[in-house]
């Protein structure tokens, strides 16, 4: 590395250091009421169907995805 490399890098990143970083203003309140059994069941079932069912289907059909040798 030459002697000028740190100066060049400082010149390239100097303007980026002065830019203001936007901050998210997220405020939340506690829930008004507790979740019921039915709401929990619907939420857990939808998570299961969305994430675990496709992965299980792929794992059960893994032999059909293998390349023929």
**Is 10 domain-assigned?**
no
Task: Tell me, yes or no, whether 14 lies in a domain.
Answer: no
Question: Is residue 23, in this structure, part of any structural domain at all?
Answer: no
CA distance 12 to 33: 53
For residue 69, what pLDDT band results from cuts at 50, 70 and 90? low
User: What is the pLDDT, as a whole number, of residue 48?
Assistant: 93
Answer whether residue 33 shows pLDDT above 80. yes
In this structure, is residue 55 part of a structural domain?
Answer: yes
Q: Report pTM.
A: 0.46
**Would 37 be classed as within a structural domain?**
yes
Q: Give the pLDDT of residue 16.
A: 58
Give the model confidence (pLDDT) of 37-68 as tens digits: 999 999 999 999 999 999 999 999 998 878 77
Q: How many domains does the chain have?
A: 1
Residue 2 lies in a domain: no
- Cα–Cα distances (Å) from 5 to 2, 45, 69, in that order, read 6, 57, 52
Provide the mean pLDDT of the chain. Answer: 82
Whether residue 52 lies inside any domain: the answer is: yes
Instruction: Answer whether residue 51 is part of any domain.
Output: yes
The domain in which residue 51 lies consists of 32-68
């Amino acid at each position: 590395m030459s002697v000028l490399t740190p100066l060049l890098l400082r010149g390239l990143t100097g303007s980026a250091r002065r830019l203001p970083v936007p901050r998210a203003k997220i405020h939340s309140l506690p829930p008004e009421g507790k979740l019921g059994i039915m709401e929990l069941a619907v939420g857990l079932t939808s998570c299961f169907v969305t994430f675990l069912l496709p992965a299980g289907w792929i794992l059960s059909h893994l032999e059909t995805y293998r390349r023929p040798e």
